[in-house]
Amino acid sequence: MVNPASLFQLGIDLAQPPKKAQAEASGTEVNNVTAGPWPMPAVADDHFITRDGKCYAGTHLILDLWGASRLAEIDYIRRALIDAVEAAGATLLHIHLHHFTPNGGVSGVAVLAESHISIHTWPERSYAALDIFMCGGADPQKSVPVLEMAFQPTTLKVEIFYRGAFP
């Protein structure tokens, strides 16, 4: 049996019907957008993106860089992330990077108003894994050439996901 209190803590209240049902019961008109498991009301300034006839929360890029360089240089990595944020037209809020020993790997995140860029490096394997997720007007794909130039990988793999898009 599912504990309703646990679901409420996750933001799911079984006692409350979806907003559309509430609006219909009260006779209130709701402007609905099909963007989830049920039609949801349109929200001004929710930073969802509408491109090519598709509405979604944001674009999430997963990057694998093989044969990459400068992956143990924390100040260089910080500058590369700042340059990637600027290229994407995003707003940097904070960067936190941690330098591991003895291999010199770096893990960290650039927290953005539009979401984040995270990085994890394995210099002993010349490998870096990055996640770039952005909503609103920022374009994460513009950060890819900046990161490619910074780390000079021999192989770059990019996967693109449209988060929050309802099939």
Set 47, 99, 116, 120: catalytic member: 120
Q: Which of 166, 104, 160 is nearest to 132 (CA)?
A: 160
> Any idea which of 2-6, 90-94, 121-125 has the lowest mean pLDDT?
2-6
Residues 82 and 159 in one domain: yes
Set 115, 116, 118, 126: catalytic member: 115
Residues 30 and 59 in one domain: no
Q: Write out the residue range of the structural domain in which residue 141 sits.
A: 55-163
The verdict on residue 49 lying in a domain is: no
Residues 34 and 62 in one domain: no
Per cent of the chain over pLDDT 70 is 72
The verdict on residue 18 lying in a domain is: yes
Structure confidence at residue 14 (pLDDT): 47
User: What is d(CA 163, CA 167) in angstroms, rounded to the nearest whole number?
Assistant: 11
Residues 8 and 68 in one domain: no
61 pLDDT tier (thresholds 50, 70, 90): very high
**Is it the case that residue 93 has pLDDT exceeding 90?**
yes
- Tell me if residue 120 is catalytic: yes
The verdict on residue 21 lying in a domain is: yes
Structure confidence at residue 111 (pLDDT): 98
**Is it the case that residue 18 has pLDDT exceeding 80?**
no
- Tell me if residue 115 is catalytic: yes
- Give the pLDDT mean for 65-93: 98
The verdict on residue 136 lying in a domain is: yes
**Is it the case that residue 96 has pLDDT exceeding 80?**
yes
47 pLDDT tier (thresholds 50, 70, 90): confident
148 pLDDT tier (thresholds 50, 70, 90): very high
Structural domains of the chain, count: 2
User: What is d(CA 42, CA 49) in angstroms, rounded to the nearest whole number?
Assistant: 12
The verdict on residue 50 lying in a domain is: no
- Tell me if residue 55 is catalytic: no
Comparison of pLDDT for 162 and 49, the residue scoring more = 162
* Alpha-carbon dihedral sign for residues 96, 128, 89, 164: negative
